[in-house]
Structure 1
Amino acid sequence: MDLKDKVAVVTGSGRGLGRAYAEALGAAGASVVVNAVNAGAAAEAVKAVEAAGGRAVSVVAPVGSAETAEQLVETAVSAFGRIDTMVTNAGILRDRTLWKMTDDDFDDVIRVHLRGTFTCARAAAVRMREQGEGGRLVLIASPAGQRGNFGQTNYAAAKAGIVAMARTWAMELAKADITANAIVPVAATDMTRTIPVFAPYIEEAERTGDPLPDWIRKNEGLGTVEDVASLVVFLASDDSAGITGQAIGIGGDRLALWSHPQEKTVALADGGWSAAAIAEHWSPQVRSELESYGLTPPKAPGSAH
């Protein structure tokens, strides 16, 4: 991929997945605005992008407010003349079960993930429409938003909302040739280390220095941050024109297209449904069609659990 004429903003790119995205974009030739709340991390990310072959500047500010979003876009335009891609990666965790989660726990995560995605995408879309040459919104979702995850009411809700926004913006921005897609990444990071089903495998790989086992890279799609970054580069490129409104999973050796929610089974009753009629129909007809939920523990080939 040749992105030498492209300019991208990557929020939350001081470390982890965000930094991998910024480096990969730089390696493809893009100019990148990196963003972090820590000045040292931002400076290191700028150096990494430049070492990879791109140009970079930084904005040190927390994502969430309209002011930060506008600053990110204005920095891209002032430093590099335009903006072509907005990657909304910034995020935090405040994991608690429902009965222990405080208002602040909920609001903080929603502000950074969901509101931050909204404000940054809005600021980018305004500028992209003014430029009149299309653009790319690359929104970072999560398996937790697709499936739910214990202790992550706030995070799962925000990530599910991000995918819904991608579908909505795909419609709203189509005439301006601006695509909007959500990535569902799975990689060994500080965030995924907090997910019980993945933590033991990440910790074992870090302890031994060995790569993650082949079966988990393929069956679960769990790999390194570098495994995920190629999808961001593709979606930022001209080759992804026409791909919009999608949720695309990537991790390890696995690339997947997530389905959209839709009616699975439908029944009709003349005049509508009474509670008793619903109960009669529900078992056994509907009961056998119920969906699973939650992230399930990885299962190695041949294992009993």
Structure 2
Amino acid sequence: MTHVDLSGKVAVVTGSGRGLGLAYARSLAAAGAAVVINDVDADAAAEAVRLITADGGRAVAEVVPVGSTEAAQALVARAVDSYGRLDVMVTNAGVLRDRVLWKMTDEDFDTVVEVHLRGTFTCVRAAVERMRAQGEGGRVVVAGSPAGQRGNFGQTNYAAAKAGIAAMVRTWAMELAKAGITANAVIPVAATAMTKTIPVFAPHVEALEKDGIALPDGLRKGEGFGTAEDVAGLVTFLASDASAGVTGQCVGIGGDKLALWSHPREVSVAYADGGWSAEAIAAAWPVTVGRTPETFGIPAPQL
């Protein structure tokens, strides 16, 4: 079995004061990386640093809300000032402002896009500038979502941001290849504060948190739904030399399930000499490209 060793590597993990981000940071540190913890909650960031250092790891905190160029530069500077370099950027920070389309405000939309989409862009841009200057390659690991892959009711802003992140990864894989920098998206499904609000998952997440009752196989295998710690191994793999040949991918993980998401592609085509009029499309649609339409939305859990 390949040994994943991050000794000598330095990573930034945004939104790592708790939840998935904390699990990522702890896994990276356990593999030998020095980690910059980031959160808007200073107490959560300090506790994350304490947990990592108590386990023998190395960590410092940078308390700043991601989104702006200045915040991204501060995170990179913190890594370089503390540990002399930057090898891994993990963008995990996020917020939710769920509303159906006709009730979603400009502020709801802009807040989510600012943190998820722009925050990913600014943090990765700042990280890549440093990695290219070092000339030793690097790893970019960003957070996608099933909502960004399939859409989700009430999440116009979140789904759009996550879909945009997946598109950026595919672009960065091409742009960064010459510099030896890989870019991949993790598509996690895990017990978090967000998934705890989903009625079918809620009792299982509460039982796990309160009584330590393990999630049932129907969730772990059937739905690919597990703990934050179940996701962390993928982030550590993608941050390592073992993943040098993996780039431009959206990789799903949760519970006992590991999956590779397809990229958008043509699934059905038709041709007409001289092009397509509206009438010709109407006639051809049900018997050609529209015969088997694509699905949309995240399937309801089957428990």
Q: Aligning the two structures, in what range does the TM-score lie when normalised by the shorter sequence?
A: over 0.9
Deviation at 1:73, TM superposition (A): 0.3
User: In the TM superposition, what is the alpha-carbon distance from 1:198 to its structure 2 partner?
Assistant: 3.7
Quote the Cα distance in structure 2 between the aligned partners of 1:27 and 1:52.
8
Instruction: List gaps (5 residues or longer) in structure 1.
Output: 301-305
Q: Which residue of 2 aligns with 1:175?
A: 178
One-letter amino acid of the structure 1 residue matched with residue 195 of structure 2: T
Q: Structure 1 residues 204, 162: CA separation in 2 closer, same or farther (over 3 Å shift)?
A: same
1:69 aligns with 2:62: no
Structure 1 residue 45 displacement after superposition: 0.5
Q: 1:303 maps to which residue?
A: none
Can you give the 5+ residue segments of structure 2 that lack an aligned partner in the other structure?
none
C-alpha distance in 2 between matches for 1:219 and 1:82: 41
d(CA) in 2 for partners of 1:35 and 1:277? 55
Classify the secondary structure of the residue corresponding to 2:296: coil
Q: Which moved more, 1:144-153 or 1:291-300?
A: 291-300
Q: How far 1:297 moved relative to its partner?
A: 1.5
SS at match of 2:285: helix
Find the aligned partners of 1:194 and 1:147 in 2 and give their Cα distance.
19
Give how far 1:210 is off: 1.6
Q: Partner letter of residue 109 of structure 2?
A: F
State the partner residue of 1:280: 283
Aligned to 1:128: 131
Matches for 1:40-51 after TM superposition, within 5 Å: 40-51=43-54
Cα distance between partner residues in 2 of 1:49 and 1:250:
23
Counterpart selection for 1:58 from 61, 67, 82: 61
Q: Return 277-286 or 264-273, whichever deviates more.
A: 277-286
Work out whether residues 268 and 288 of structure 2, in 8 Å CA contact, stay in contact via their aligned partners in 1: no
Checking the alignment, whether the CA contact within 8 Å between 2:230 and 2:254 is kept in structure 1 is yes
Q: Matches of 1:137 and 1:195 in 2, distance apart?
A: 30
Contact 2:101 2:154 in 1 (8 A): yes
Rounded Cα–Cα distance in structure 2 between residues aligned with 1:36 and 1:299 = 35
Which residue matches 2:147?
144
Q: Deviations over 1:169-215 (max 9, x none)?
A: 00001000000000000100012223455445434544654211112
- The one of 247, 250, 257 equivalent to 1:254 is 257
Counterpart-to-counterpart distance in 2, 1:290 and 1:53: 53
Deviation at 1:282, TM superposition (A): 1.0
Task: Tell me the SS of whatever aligns to 2:136.
Answer: coil
SS in 2 for 1:289: coil
TM-score, with length taken from structure 1: 0.95
1:238-284 per-position Cα deviation (integer Å, ceiling 9, x unaligned): 11102100000001000001111000001000111011110111113
**Residue 286 of structure 1: SS of its match in structure 2?**
coil
Q: Which residue of 2 aligns with 1:215?
A: 218
Match of 1:244 in 2: 247
Does the 8 Å CA contact 1:197/1:296 hold for their aligned counterparts?
no
Tell me the number of residue pairs that the alignment of Structure 1 and Structure 2 aligns: 300
User: How far apart, in 2, do the equivalents of 1:194 and 1:114 lie?
Assistant: 23
- Is the contact between residue 189 and residue 226 of structure 2 (CA under 8 Å) also seen in structure 1? yes
Q: What displacement does 1:48 show?
A: 1.4
Task: Give the aligned CA root-mean-square deviation in angstroms.
Answer: 1.3
| Amino acid of the structure 2 residue aligned with 1:230 | G
**What is the CA–CA distance in structure 2 between the aligned matches of 1:143 and 1:196, rounded to whole Å?**
17
Distance 1:196 1:157 in 2: 24
Cα deviation, 1:110-129, whole Å, max 9, x if unaligned, reads: 00000000000000000000
**Matched residues in 1 for 2:11 and 2:201: separation?**
31
Cα distance in 1 for partners of 2:149, 2:298 equals 9
Pick closer, same or farther for the CA change 1:21–1:168 going to 2, 3 Å: same
- Whether 1:79 and 2:82 are equivalent positions in the alignment is yes
Label 1:207 to 1:281 Cα distance change in 2 as closer, same or farther (>3 A).
farther
